[in-house]
Structure 1
Amino acid sequence: MGIAGTFIFMIVIGAAIGAVTNHFAIQMLFRPYRPYYLFGKRVPFTPGLIPKRRDELAKQMGLMVTNHLLTPEGIKKRLMSDTVKKQALQFAEQFTHKMAASGMTVHEALAAIGINHPQEAADAWIDRFTDEKLSELYRKYEHRAIKEWLPGDVQEKLEEKVPMVADYILKRSSDYFESEEGKERLGNMIDDFLKARGMFGSMVQMFLGNSSLADRVLPELLKFLQNDETKKLLSDLLSQEWSKLKSYTLYEADEKWNAKDLLFSLKNRALTAFSAAPFFERPIGTLITRYEQDITGTYAPKLLEAALGGIAAHLEDGLKRLRLEEVVKEQVDQFPVERLEEMVLSISKKEFKMITYLGGLLGGIIGAIQALFVVLF
């Protein structure tokens, strides 16, 4: 073989060895996928590097994600960025406009997300809540005088209203006795009074007649009801009764007048009159339209700022609780090696080919050097 043949032969052999070696080295990153055994001994280089180091790779990938990619600082920076806030506010504004134009009722909207019979639930909750609060207040103040738990300004206002109440009672009494029903009632009262007096009453009825006596008594009765002294007398009586009432405890008031039952009865009547049902039958659009400007201009930015601030404040603790490194590790463990090989090769196919060609080039150069040494020595 001549010198040229020696050079060509050595270059081709070196290039082939270099290319094939690099090609197998690349293949051995992933293959074989599982270990092979011969006579009970594991065959060397099985499985491939990545399948063999899969657990360590998964662990390191989890640590890389939590320590360098999804860090609390990076997520906080992203959350508090102007871009995120702007996008969130735009979404809130679009959603508010959409809801303002909706004809869906509150009941229908809640039913759409799986909440049925909301008005009954709301009324029942309000009833339980008010019962609990009233019972709690009653237990707290049942042995204390009314004047001790009733605010001072409320007591003063009630005392100031006593003359007005007295004037109202007297005025209503005057109006009643001036009516036909009142005159008839007055006549019946006089008749009953005279009957109770026996012969004396019969003589008075015989001489004057019942209607005549009622007509004579009525003006005097009206004068009495409209007299300032009568008003003062009634005001004093009401003030005295109010002073007595203030000294009672809730427990005593309950024993005398069933105050507790009366209180709960009034509460039930009030809740019946102010049921939540009409609210749930109103269209969402009418409710939102009324406050649309406030929602988009004031409430949404404040709520967003508070929400993002709360998330940022508890983000680090939340990420620790999520244990993302374990999540990543589990996902990598479950990821098929075949699919991983396919992904890597699809991304770096050209680069791997160049590595193979580079191995052939280096092998060829080494073969040429070897041929040179053979010729020279």
Structure 2
Amino acid sequence: MYILGIFLMMMIIGALIGAITNHFAIKMLFRPYQPLYLFGKQVPFTPGLIPKRRDELARQMGQMVVNHLLTAEGIKKRLVSDTVKQQALKLGERLLGFFSKSELTTEEALEKIGVIDAANKADQFVHMWTDEKLASFLVKYENEPLKELIPEEVQEKLRGKIPMVSDYILQRAISYFASDAGKNRLGNMIDDFLKERGMLGSMVQMFLGNSSLVDRVQPEILKFLNNRETAKLLTDLLENEWDKLKQYSFKEADEKWNLKTLIMNLKERLIKPFSLNPFFERTIGSYITVVEKTLTNRLPDLIDRLLEEVARHLDDVLKRLQLDDIVKEQVDNFPVERLEEMVLSISKREFKMITYLGGLLGGIIGAFQALIVVLI
């Protein structure tokens, strides 16, 4: 009876020591959360293992995620898999169907994401952008001769139009001087000319009369204007002036004829009718409907290319994201109390079994000790 009591007592003591030791060992994984001090010195084993090694744990977890869990190769395989492609295709088809039925105008859709007055802003941007580009171009080439700025084909076409311009000028002149208005104007010019000649002009007027002189001069002017040599002379003059004009630098031409202002005004006149307002007033559905069939047919190919392009640049994207730093930062900011709660909630049964196992081993060790005591 005495021996049995020794066995039972030592087994119970051993089991309690084993169970309590394992229980505290588990607790010391997390607790205490902060270091404890006694007489100004830190108490050993404080803080707990995980709080003490938090920085190293965070760093190791970050490296584990990047090197073993979220690897570029694994994500690439997933991206180019048939499952992902099929899911992306279905999503693309749903989005196309949804947007093709949308009654929202482009401007309303932009307003929903915070872009207000998009049409006017787009017009202003186009005007500002073209002003900047055109001004920069004019400054860059202001010392270049015009013949270097105007393409040769354009120069040849403009030169080829000179006879037509010459003929147009002569025809307008003939039409004008043959009209009553032209004849009256010619009479006034002759009258002014004779007045400036004093006595001589008065004598000519007295002998011929103004109307008689006009009747004589008008046919001669019309004859001169209809003469082929006159047309050739005017064409030669215009060609000579064109050749001289091409030798001018843009800066010289601007000083003579204010070309910059002329070009800017011309640009404004050309752009003004092409406002972007109609684009923003149409519904999104109207745009999608036009290309829906084409997009639907090409969607598989587009998705394949998109996923392949993403996979191609995935290494660079992951490097820029610095996932290991993100994981480390999240672990550093994660409360130890919450981490303990999560681990215990997941492994509560296993931790209890460890405690019981400690008690069992302690009891077995206590039995061996009792046996040794009895034998001694």
Pair in the same fold by TM > 0.5: yes
Deviation string 1:338-357 (CA, Å, 9 cap, x unpaired) is: 21111111111111122122
Of 292, 314, 320, 2:316 maps to: 314
Secondary structure at 2:61 match in 1:
helix
**CA 1:117/1:53 → structure 2, altered by over 3 Å: closer, same or farther?**
same
Asked if 1:335 is matched to 2:334, the reply is yes
Give the AA of the match of 1:339. Answer: R
Q: CA shift at 1:318, angstroms?
A: 1.0
CA distance in 1, matches of 2:48, 2:315: 44
Which deviates more, 81-90 or 64-73? Answer: 81-90
Q: CA shift at 1:158, angstroms?
A: 2.0
Aligned to 1:268: 268
Deviation string 1:61-87 (CA, Å, 9 cap, x unpaired) is: 333333433444444554555555554
Of 166, 181, 186, 1:185 maps to: 181
CA distance in 2, matches of 1:170, 1:305: 68
Residue pairs, 1:215-294, within 5 angstroms: 221=222, 232=232, 234-293=234-293
CA distance in 1, matches of 2:150, 2:52: 80
Number of equivalent positions: 366
Aligned residues of 2:80 and 2:308 also touching (Cα < 8 A): no
Secondary structure at 2:282 match in 1:
coil
**CA 1:374/1:83 → structure 2, altered by over 3 Å: closer, same or farther?**
same
Give the AA of the match of 2:112. Answer: A
Asked if 1:304 is matched to 2:325, the reply is no
Aligned residues of 2:76 and 2:311 also touching (Cα < 8 A): no
CA distance in 2, matches of 1:241, 1:206: 37
Deviation string 1:243-290 (CA, Å, 9 cap, x unpaired) is: 232222222322322222211221222232333333333333333433
Give the AA of the match of 1:128. Answer: M
Asked if 1:25 is matched to 2:25, the reply is yes
CA distance in 2, matches of 1:149, 1:86: 54
CA distance in 2, matches of 1:77, 1:108: 40
Aligned residues of 2:187 and 2:210 also touching (Cα < 8 A): no
Deviation string 1:119-159 (CA, Å, 9 cap, x unpaired) is: 34333333333333333332333333222222212212222
Residue pairs, 1:105-254, within 5 angstroms: 105-169=105-169, 183-193=179-189, 195-196=191-192, 221=222, 232=232, 234-254=234-254
Unaligned runs of 5+ in 1: none
Aligned residues of 2:62 and 2:326 also touching (Cα < 8 A): yes
Which deviates more, 83-92 or 93-102? Answer: 83-92
Deviation string 1:75-105 (CA, Å, 9 cap, x unpaired) is: 4554555555554555444434433332323
Deviation string 1:220-255 (CA, Å, 9 cap, x unpaired) is: 95x887776665555444333322322222223223
CA distance in 2, matches of 1:173, 1:97: 66
CA distance in 1, matches of 2:116, 2:91: 28
Aligned residues of 1:107 and 1:281 also touching (Cα < 8 A): yes
Aligned to 1:57: 57
CA distance in 2, matches of 1:273, 1:195: 49
What is the RMSD of the two structures over their aligned residues, measured on CA atoms? 4.0
CA distance in 2, matches of 1:207, 1:30: 123
Give the AA of the match of 1:263. Answer: I
Aligned residues of 1:195 and 1:202 also touching (Cα < 8 A): no
Aligned to 1:363: 362
Aligned residues of 2:141 and 2:250 also touching (Cα < 8 A): yes
Aligned residues of 1:194 and 1:200 also touching (Cα < 8 A): no
Which deviates more, 72-81 or 151-160? Answer: 72-81
